[in-house]
């Protein structure tokens, strides 16, 4: 951020949450285990999970193009972050599968190494500045967002 600000006064920086899409990213990797009934809370499930529907992400980019006066750092996340357990339970429910098998922190670290921190240490991020500008999310709730990306293969 500080280097981009040194280049120009009018800088716009987007910080993404987990982008919900079945075409790539975290959700696409979660689908098979969940479809097989292997979903469960990760490292206790209490950590925050900040996410955004792929369509809302694209809509935010369009909004920025239409509002060239936007500058600064903007969080591109749903206004309603959830716990990892709530996210997983919602996904399992939509797939009509159980949500029983926990993954412990040590298992995640063994599988993902340093990348495991993304799954085991959550941060609650909300799009305060974007909302203050009047941006409206089409998918503010995790249930409707997951249902849409799964049913419409987005």
pLDDT at 116: 74
**For the whole model, what pTM was predicted?**
0.87
Residue-wise pLDDT tens digits, 73-106: 999 999 999 999 999 999 999 999 999 999 888 8
Give residue 42's Cα distance to chain centre. Answer: 15
d(CA 54, CA 154): 8
d(CA 20, CA 11): 26
> What is the DSSP secondary structure assignment for residue 134, as one 8-state letter?
T
pLDDT at 2: 57
pLDDT at 122: 81
Out of 40-49, 87-96, 126-135, pick the least confident: 40-49
d(CA 42, CA 120): 7
- Token digits for 109? 């670290």
DSSP string, 10-72: S-EEEEE-EEE-TTSHHHHHHHHHHHTT----BTTS-SEE-EEEHHHHHHHHHHHHH-TT--E
Q: What are the structural domains, with CATH classification, of the chain? A: 2-151 (3.40.50.720)
């Amino acid at each position: 951020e500080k280097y981009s600000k040194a280049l120009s006064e009018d800088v716009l920086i987007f910080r993404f949450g987990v982008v919900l899409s079945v075409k790539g990213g975290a959700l696409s990797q979660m689908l098979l285990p969940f479809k097989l009934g292997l979903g469960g809370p990760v490292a206790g499930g209490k950590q925050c999970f900040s996410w955004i529907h792929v369509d809302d992400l694209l809509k935010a980019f369009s909004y920025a193009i239409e509002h060239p006066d936007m500058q600064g750092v903007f969080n591109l996340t749903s206004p309603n972050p959830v716990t990892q357990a709530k996210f997983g339970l919602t996904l399992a429910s939509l797939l009509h599968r159980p949500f029983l098998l926990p993954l412990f922190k040590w298992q995640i670290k063994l599988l993902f190494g340093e990348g495991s921190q993304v799954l085991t240490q959550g941060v609650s991020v909300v799009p305060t500045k974007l909302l203050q500008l009047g941006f409206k999310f089409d998918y503010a709730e995790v249930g409707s967002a997951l249902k849409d990306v799964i049913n419409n293969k987005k």
